Structure 1
């Protein structure tokens, strides 16, 4: 009798119920960065554009050799590099979602949330572009063959691969931004940008996680092996992004030495590990952190040795 009266755990919401919940959240808390950021406010001359501890060369001999002005300038160029990459990634994700929606029921709540996410991401691209313009730097443009890859990737982002790619592109940045946005050394405009992005990306991450959590148990052995192995390529992408030669060259540094120091910096490795930790735990939870991907994430400095 007692056992039969115990409260049963509530059933997990369906995909449509989960999407409906996120749609209601979007109505309550969404932003229009064009008006929600004061683009006319002057930048503060002695503030960083990324917290010093999050700049790639922090706590290296090269960082100690730099003047404060050079350190701030490197933070500016690395912010621009990151925002530029964010624009190109949002472009890839939007293309993949649009292709996905073409084959779905346009009355479904999940489709309505995907369209809402498309709107969020489009506004984020505008926000990133305006931020790059405001800080007075040139965007880091992809080379022609990068653009070929960018336009080809959405063709392969289907099913579980789409949600894994979305999480890799969104959750690592989200985790790092949460660590950065309250730093007193940060430009107020950048703080505001990060708060807006974190608020809206939280819903995108929940949607992607829910999609992957529901799909993962039904994956066949070959598909599971593929998805659990290929996600490790994200480590190589982020290592390339975080040690891109262009910011170093723009500051007038020896780019080869700078990249070598950044990639071997114990401090930088810890920053990357902390940024990847939430996603790593989730991939383990759903059984999609395979041996190959684990080796790649570790080799690129996102998992402990």
Structure 2
């Protein structure tokens, strides 16, 4: 009996402005000074082909617009037909998309297209694993700034495709006071009060703590979010009770598929993971020749 088809997890597409420069740079890097000399030597200039991107393993898809951009930068006339949009779950053998048109353009754009799709689908798949492990709790999985330089917007998009949510995108969109800020500022009160005096009315203040004593001090001063760093589930449970709904609680540190369920069961609001962006395995996707087509 075949399994029912799952509805894709909806994710709003990224604007082309975020995608095209990264993909263009990757193609320029790959083409070098002389272009694809192998393809030009072996495939006739007028040859037309149809190929498919096929999943080799279970996962969640992200990055199709990057692949589409890679192929269309090589030849705007290439036709890309998507069968499994971003946010879709795939099994080995599933066809994700079909590409048809000039064979040289397809083969030359192949590696860049698959590099982006494999990496971003890997991020989405890793996020999906954590999100599924906390189902039935109120906790949401979120990412961090531990991203590949130049690819942050793409990787954070992939987190959303995997069912997670985004933490701050950069140093400029929220205040996150960490241990070094506190040490240099002269204490947690000085750090929070300085931040409150400087931040605009739309900017939230989050403070990182790693002990319950620090948490008690922070809650006595006040902030919008507390980052509970590297705490055991028992300590997290006590921390959530101390906060008592006066701030958003975020747990981080030692987050894996095996541990995230116990972390979520403590009642925290958010669980942040750097692993889903900096260490997620690439999802194995391949480009398979399907047929030659008429000129």
Task: Give the TM-score of the pair, scaled to structure 1.
Answer: 0.26
Larger gyration radius, structure 1 or structure 2: 2
Task: Give the TM-score of the pair, scaled to structure 2.
Answer: 0.27
Q: Which has the higher helix share?
A: 1
Q: Which has the higher strand share?
A: 2
